[in-house]
Homo-oligomer: A and B are copies of this chain.
């Protein structure tokens, strides 16, 4: 199947899974479920769950079997966006072209909707047991998810990001933020697909390495888009990093060097999975797509 149709197929599965595994808006108490669904259904590429389904298929399992865990990682990603956007954090008004969660539902419900999506992520990951996945693999994936998203992973990245500033031009700090805020959950999505599918440790390591390079490239491109992007396409104001004096690749290295670094990471990502031959073609094409993305 062509890259684009395969991506669409995975993405369609994810959209359908979101509708199936999340409580509908009118579930009591309705306001919390409206708030959860509002952000979860606000669109987005569904990159992380697509990566998980693709990693599962790459490792030899039908992607349908991983769908609860794939929807779970999208819940986790969405929680992190809702909380990052809060007034006490980045204080953002727009996300994916729509008002942020707290702008619509108020701060209290936005905090709780984030909490509920984080909790749902673990519930849905555990639900893969019902798909016939061996329980040992499910527990391992739950541990990987908790570590990747915890106080030494995703949350650590946000903590360091909050206290970073453009004034302190420290490339090591920038790498730490990118590895934890962005690459960590992308790596998790890939290795979770492998682990749940019963991949070998060598294959899981390859998926992890690919994810690290892909995740870094993704964030570098994100920094670029914040400077040269289009509001209509990225769904949030351009230049917000500069306004917030955020430490970014562009602020450290300039546009040209940043583009070069993104390319290097993408090439490194491709080289990790090329040895596995034809079955890696989706991941090779995906890496090229990430480099060229406009949103």
Query: What residues make up the interface of A, taking CB atoms closer than 8 Å to B?
Result: 23, 27-29, 31-33, 36, 79, 83, 86, 88-89, 106-109, 111-112, 114-116, 118-120, 122-123, 126-127, 129, 134-136, 138-139, 142-143, 145-147, 149-152, 155-156, 158-160, 162-163
Tell me the complex Cα distance, A24–B32, Å. Answer: 34
Minimum distance in angstroms from A117 CB to a CB of chain B: 8
CB pair A119 B149 closer than 8 Å: yes
Nearest residue in B to A88 (C-beta to C-beta)? B107
The 8 Å CB contact of A155, one of B115, B149, B156, B162, is B115
23 contacts between A and B (CB under 8 A): A27-B151, A29-B159, A29-B160, A31-B163, A32-B155, A79-B115, A83-B115, A109-B159, A115-B155, A116-B150, A116-B151, A118-B118, A118-B119, A119-B150, A119-B151, A120-B151, A122-B145, A122-B146, A123-B143, A126-B143, A126-B146, A129-B139, A138-B139
Residues of chain B within 8 A (CB-CB) of A109 are: 159
Residues of B within 8 A of A159 (CB): 29, 31-32, 109, 112
Docked complex Cα distance between A149 and B123 (Å): 10
Question: How far is A107 from B89 in the complex, measured between Cα atoms in Å?
Answer: 8
The answer to whether A122 and B139 have CB atoms under 8 Å apart is no
- Min CB distance A109 to B, Å, is 7
What chain B residues lie within 8 Å of A146 (beta carbons)?
A: 119-120, 122-123, 126
> Once the chains are docked, how many angstroms separate the CA of A163 from the CA of B29?
10
Contacts of A135 in B (CB 8 A): 134-136, 138-139
| A119 engages B152 (CB within 8 Å) | no
Please give, as numbers and ranges, the residues of chain B lying within 8 Å of A150 by CB-CB distance.
116, 119-120, 123
Minimum CB distance partner of A116 in chain B: B151
Counting chain B CB atoms within 10 Å of each CB, the highest count among A27, A111, A156, A160 belongs to A111
B112:A152 contact, CB within 8 angstroms: no
In the complex, chain B residues whose CB is within 8 Å of the CB of A139: 126, 129, 135, 138-139, 142
Tell me the complex Cα distance, A79–B151, Å. Answer: 13
A102 (CB) vs chain B CBs: closest residue: B88
Tell me how far the C-beta of A37 lies from the nearest C-beta in chain B, rounded to whole angstroms.
10
Decide: A118 near B115, CB < 8 A? Known: A23-B152, A88-B107, A143-B127: yes
Q: Is B126's CB under 8 angstroms from A111's CB?
A: no
Cβ distance A127 to chain B, nearest Cβ, rounded Å: 7
Give the docked Cα–Cα distance between A126 and B147 (Å): 11
Minimum CB–CB distance for A128 against chain B, Å: 9
Contacts of A160 in B (CB 8 A): 29
Task: Give A23 to B143 CA distance when docked, in angstroms.
Answer: 16
- Chain B residue contacts of A142, Cβ below 8 A: 122-123, 126, 139, 142
Q: Are B83 and A152 in contact, with the CB atoms below 8 A?
A: no
